[in-house]
Structure 1
Amino acid sequence: MVLFLQGRGEDLIPNLRRQMEEAAERLDFERAARLRDEIKAIEHVLQHQKIITGRNETFDVLAVAQGAGGDACVQVGFVRNGKLLGSEYYLMSGARVDDTPSAILSSFVGQFYQQAAQIPGELVLEHPLEDQEVVGDWLTERRGARVKLTVPKRGLRRELVEMIAKSARQNLEQSRVRWLNDEQRTTAALSELADALALDRIPRRIECFDVSNLHGTNAVASMVVFENGKPKKSDYRRFQIKQVEGPNDFAMMQEAIRRRYRRALDVEQTEAWQTMPDLIIVDGGKGQLSAALNALQELGLNLPIAALAKEHEELFLPDRPDAVVLPRDSQALFLVQRIRDEAHRFAVAFHRKRRAKTSIRSVLDEIPGVGPRRRRELLRRFGSVEGIRQASVEELAGIKGIGRALAEQIKAELGG
């Protein structure tokens, strides 16, 4: 087992084969079959181990992923004798929203290598550790030989760090999904949230709003819906902000709230639009809360509402001067953070999509002779501005309504 963990699985096989043959000669076929299965299992693992260096190197690779709500995951990749044997992830339950990646990695290294049976001669890190020199001396003392701590900027080790960091992000996201699918936890979280916000009933349906824009341009708002602690994506809504000019997040939030709940009062709308939430959450602080509350009052609605401020993860309520601060390890805080993060993700994705469309439109609109119809034809054929840029004059001229002269002009304007 020690040889295998050191990346020397090939050294095990000859000895196991010899033991298998000896067992067969003794007619101990049960042991021979068990050894045969062990050999096959080791060979299967060795086939899937990735040779990543041409040298006989042994080191660990550490990366960290953080959620917007402070939850974190550390991923450790194990390279032994130039082979990546695999990786493991560890959820950092004590992490806080204001912890830096360096602080999380430092805490992890202290815990993990205190218990580790073996410490490699090098740790390859995504971020430098806090008090790195002190930690390095402690690791060297525990190992009985020097331990090097490196934070690569380029090359093979940097590629490994990026690969391990990607796995950390994926595992953190999967842990969130598993949490949301745990009925007991979500029920407890909803009950805890109702108590903390003094709601009349458990918030079975929660609607959360976020705004996304770049200096006031391509402004959008999102609304995500969670029912019984789980996302109900069929009820998600997106709003293009139409009535606000310039960077005014408060007015944008107000417009989104007004449009959403005006439609809720329209008896001709679908059931999804008419269904009222048990709780509204807006991403932001007192300013966003006040803007949203004004929009509801304009419509004559009195719905439970709170604002979740990201900096300290505080909840603000109407007519309450002090923020509600949920315990850092509470199920309710974890739930509202997940909901807020989903609203942010949905808003940012819509904003990026709008920005991309605007960019394409503005670039092509600057070319004389390319109107809306020709722009659509070009995009339909080549997919993007980059696709148009890579096309030849002959390919461009083959589009209906674009002759050679215009094709040459398009090439000249876009380059390529």
Structure 2
Amino acid sequence: MADPASYRPAPGAIPESPGVYRFRDEHGRVIYVGKAKNLRSRLSSYFADHAGLHPRTQGMVTTAASVTWTVVGTEVEALQLEYSWIKEYDPRFNVRYRDDKSYPYLALTMNEDYPRVMVMRGAKRKGVRYFGPYSHAWAIRETVDLLLRVFPVRTCSAGVFKRHGQIGRPCLLGYIGKCSAPCVGRVDEEEHRALAEDFSAFMAGDTGRFMKRLEREMLAAADAEEYETAARRRDDIRALERALEKQAVVLSDSTDCDVIAFARDELEAAVQVFYVRGGRIRGQRGWVVDLVEERTTGELVEDFLIQAYGDGDSVPREVLVPEAPPDEEAMNELLSEARGAQVRVRVPKRGDKKDLLGTVARNAHEALKQHKTRRAGDLTARSRALQELQDTLELDQAPLRIECFDVSNLQGTNVVASMVVFEDGLPRKSEYRRFTIKTVQGQDDVRSIHEVITRRFKRYLAESQKAGELSPEGIAGEDAEGLLSSYGFGGDDEGARRPLDPETGRPRKFAYPPNLLVIDGGPPQVAAAQRALDELGIDDIAVCGLAKRLEEVWLPSDPDPVILPRTSEGLYLLQRVRDEAHRFAINFHRAKRSKAMTASELDGVPGLGPARRTALLKHFGSVQRLKKATPEQIAEVPGIGLSTAQSIAAALQGGTTT
């Protein structure tokens, strides 16, 4: 591990021009490529305060052994050079977008004498036109099967094409009219290429021209009393309509754009792209990326646009993004050069495009959730995570049961806390608990953590003591086993001295202690939790905290944090536990706040006690509905007379009754 000071450039040696820089390791391999408007300012930030850097950036600068830079004339040139070097060197510390799965495309091989329609995956080839991507290969085959009726382009491989040309007979598709059979000379090369061009134009969104042409041919055939031809054209029109129905209309017919959205946490981000051509969603694609540096959404947008459109492939007229890239004008210029026409990158503010961006964002969140679920469901990964935590935190055993606590409040009001439980790396929601903070007023997370840890482990000690009084050692005679069973205690295992749930056979409530206690917070919160355990005389439970800003792991006795590698399964598990505790606390806080607001509206109504308030809310469902009710309707609630109902209506509706 290198000291960044050992290769820091001399003061004043770095120019203040725009440019691109490369960090190399001790073997000369490029490990990071970046660009900057001002090279001196940007590179100096890597060496100014090593301790203040993001942990992932710390890992990069300590792995590097040298840094070099290249000065360019404009920001556009910097973007182009950065893309070229990332593609050439594939640096390990750069953001690299990888597919969350291999997406198939509908491909048309215009580089062949007789173009072929096929399903294609992987790297794009020169001279091949691509449409999509599609979520499933069968969706492409269904679309192709419908379109071949109108555009009978060949779909066979080169070997099959050559063999049928030699034997002089077309394949089955040629006999049923779904191939123009160029292999046996039914159409020549020029005619077949014209069919392929029509197929390509239809897939690119030029659908109206072909529909109108078929309608004219159908009507002309009917007028000429060629009813079989008219029926075929009618069926062709229906086939094209069915193909179009598979693609949702979301924007106006003239709209060609890509809609890009992100969902992210501290370690990973998911990207979803909807491809809209001719106002219809033609395809969708997703990526998952590891976040090596701390990046804003705008910087992620910039990284993605460079990597996705750097080769000039399929650049649309408009790209819709959730946040503009830092160098928006330079990015517009770069994409316009790649496309050979004007391209705009913009953030939609209203209307259908903003709604569509919201839909793509929901898909991105779902993709990230599914990715995390797949990762969490990996038994090997979970085992590795628990082993990493045991080794890193120096625990006596793997933390098979982890409890995490988080505090939530709004400006010091309705202070609540949550406790979530993970066993064997998976959430056990039946054992989640919620706490209303009683002794703390205002925003004091430290005292709140102390209170909730004290309450939780007082219950643990009380239930453990209760179990001990009814343990086999404390019961004499033949009825010991029956008495324990009737009270709800286990048998010979570790839980024998703790109350068990008669249905699940698991310890009840707080009777089962964790191997690891996780606090959402830094040193002050961790110290408060440890102090609460010490006051209760509990010394066999490990405590740590996870600070959200830099994902640092804090231990009670250490002045410096533990930095887990960004790829660590242990860090990923701690993140999941912390985020679940935060979610659970937020939901409880919102419910409590909503209940308090509802109760406050009814508190000032004369003649309403707790029982009547509950009856009214149960009957009407909400205060808003109660406000709209007439005194006669309110009087229908059991226990409320007409005079009381009139008072309630007057108080809630702001009027008077007579």
Superposition TM-score, scaled by structure 2 size: 0.58
Letter in 2 for 1:118: S
| Inter-partner Cα distance in structure 1 for 2:555 and 2:389 | 13
Asked if 1:387 is matched to 2:625, the reply is yes
Alignment of 1:78 with 2:292, yes or no, is no
More off after superposition, 398-407 vs 198-207? 398-407
Corresponding residue to 2:318 among 110, 122, 125: 122
The answer to whether structure 1 residue 64 and structure 2 residue 262 are counterparts is yes
In the TM superposition, 1:12-27 aligns within 5 A as 13=146, 15-17=148-150, 19=152
Question: Residues 389-413 of structure 1: CA distance to partner in whole angstroms, max 9, x if unpaired?
Answer: 2334432232233344443443343
Residue 294 of structure 1 corresponds to which residue in structure 2? 531
For 1:116 and 1:233, how far apart are their aligned partners in 2?
A: 49
8 Å contact from structure 2 (residues 267, 291) kept in 1: no
**Cα pair distance change 1:45/1:192, threshold 3 Å:** farther
Do the aligned residues in 1 keep the contact of 2:256 with 2:279 (CA within 8 Å)?
A: yes
Q: Distance in 2 between matches of 1:44 and 1:112?
A: 31
Moved more, 142-151 or 391-400: 391-400
Distance 1:148 1:263 in 2: 61
Match of 1:94? 291
Question: 1:187 offset after TM fit, Å?
Answer: 1.1
Residues 1:249 and 2:382 aligned together? no
1:63–1:127 CA contact under 8 A, matched in 2:
no
Taking the aligned partners of 2:431 and 2:557, their CA distance within structure 1 comes to 30
In 2 relative to 1, CA 403–117 (structure 1 residues): closer, same or farther, beyond 3 Å? same
The 1:30–1:114 alpha-carbon spacing in structure 2 relative to 1, beyond 3 Å, is same
Q: Name the amino acid aligned to 2:291.
A: G
Structure 1 counterpart of 2:559, which letter? P
Is the CA contact (8 Å cut-off) linking 1:73 and 1:168 kept in structure 2? yes
Q: How far does residue 225 in structure 1 lie from its aligned partner after superposition?
A: 0.9
If you compute each CA radius of gyration, which structure gives the higher value, 1 or 2? 2
Alignment length (residue pairs): 409
The aligned residue for residue 113 of structure 1 is: 309
The residue correspondences of 1:304-383 to structure 2 (distance < 5 A) are: 304-383=542-621
Contact 1:64 1:165 in 2 (8 A): yes
CA distance in 1, matches of 2:151, 2:171: 13
Cα distance 1:317–1:14, how it changes in 2: closer, same or farther (>3 A)? closer
Does the 8 Å contact 1:78/1:84 carry over to 2?
yes
Identify which of 447, 456, 463 aligns with 1:260. 456
Alpha-carbon distance change, 126 to 329 in structure 1, aligned in 2, over 3 angstroms: same
349-358 vs 187-196, which deviates more? 187-196
Structure 2 distance, partners of 1:155, 1:16, is: 38
Structure 1's 89 and 33: CA in aligned 2 closer, same or farther, altered over 3 A? farther
Partner of 2:125: none
- Matched with 2:402 is 206
Write the distance in 1 (CA, Å) between the matches of 2:609 and 2:592: 19
200-209 or 343-352: bigger deviation: 200-209
The secondary structure found in structure 1 opposite 2:386 is helix
In structure 1, distance between residues paired with 2:538 and 2:359: 50
Contact kept, 8 Å, 1:205 with 1:277, in 2: the verdict is yes
Query: Gaps spanning 5+ residues in structure 2: where?
Result: 1-105, 107-128, 135-141, 157-168, 180-235, 467-498, 501-506
Cα distance between partner residues in 1 of 2:526 and 2:372:
27
- Work out whether residues 133 and 285 of structure 2, in 8 Å CA contact, stay in contact via their aligned partners in 1: no
Alpha-carbon distance in structure 2 between the residues aligned to 1:128 and 1:287: 38
Cα distance, 1:19–1:48 mapped onto 2, change above 3 Å = closer
Match of 2:382 in 1: 186
What is the rounded CA distance, in whole Å, between the counterparts of 1:32 and 1:409 in structure 2? 84
Distance (whole Å) between structure 2 residues aligned to residue 286 and residue 401 of structure 1? 54
Give % identity.
Answer: 40
Of stretches 271-280 and 11-20 in structure 1, the one that deviates more from structure 2 is: 11-20
CA distance in 1, matches of 2:431, 2:133: 52
Aligned to 1:52, the other structure's residue is in SS state coil
Q: Which runs of 5+ in 1 are unaligned?
A: none
CA distance in 2, matches of 1:300, 1:144: 73
Deviation at 1:81, TM superposition (A): 0.5
Give the deviation of 1:104 after TM superposition. Answer: 1.4
Of the structure 1 ranges 261-270 and 222-231, higher mean CA displacement relative to structure 2 is found in: 261-270
1:32–1:51: structure 2 CA closer, same or farther, 3 Å change rule? farther
**Matched letter for residue 326 of structure 1:** L
- Give the SS at the match of 1:19: coil
How many angstroms apart in 2 are the aligned matches of 1:229 and 1:41? 51
Can you list the C-alpha shifts for 1:349-387, whole angstroms capped at 9, x where unaligned? 111111111111111111112221221111111111122
Aligned partners of 2:243 and 2:358: how far apart in 1? Answer: 23
Contact 1:306 1:318 in 2 (8 A): yes
Corresponding residue of 2:244: 46
Quick check: 2:521–2:548 contact (8 Å CA) kept in 1? Answer: yes
Query: Does 2:225 match 1:29?
Result: no
Instruction: Rate the CA distance shift 1:151–1:363 in 2: closer, same or farther, 3 A.
Output: same
In the superposition, the TM-score normalised over structure 1's length comes to 0.90
Larger % of helix: which? Answer: 1
Deviation per residue, 1:185-223 (Å, 9 max, x gap): 111111112222122221111111101112222111111
Q: Which amino acid aligns with 1:401?
A: G
Q: Distance in 2 between matches of 1:173 and 1:6?
A: 22
**Counterparts of 1:42 and 1:287 in 2: how far apart (Å)?**
66
**Deviation at residue 28 of structure 1 after TM alignment:** 4.1
Matched residue, 2:300 = 104
Larger mean CA deviation between 114-123 and 176-185 belongs to: 114-123
Q: CA deviation at 1:35?
A: 4.9
Measured against aligned partners, the alpha-carbon deviations of 1:330-357 in whole angstroms (never above 9, x if no partner) come to 2211111111000000111111111111
* CA-to-aligned-CA distance 1:135-166 (integer Å, 9 cap, x gap): 11111111111111111111111111111111
Deviation at 1:31, TM superposition (A): 5.9
1:38-83 residue CA offsets vs partner (Å, 9 max, x unmatched): x99987663232111232211001111122x342111111111011
State the alpha-carbon separation in 2 of the partners of residues 306 and 404 from structure 1.
60
Matches of 1:60 and 1:45, distance apart in 2: 21
CA 44–290 in structure 1, closer or farther in 2 if over 3 Å, else same:
farther
For residue 528 of structure 2, what is the amino acid of its counterpart? A
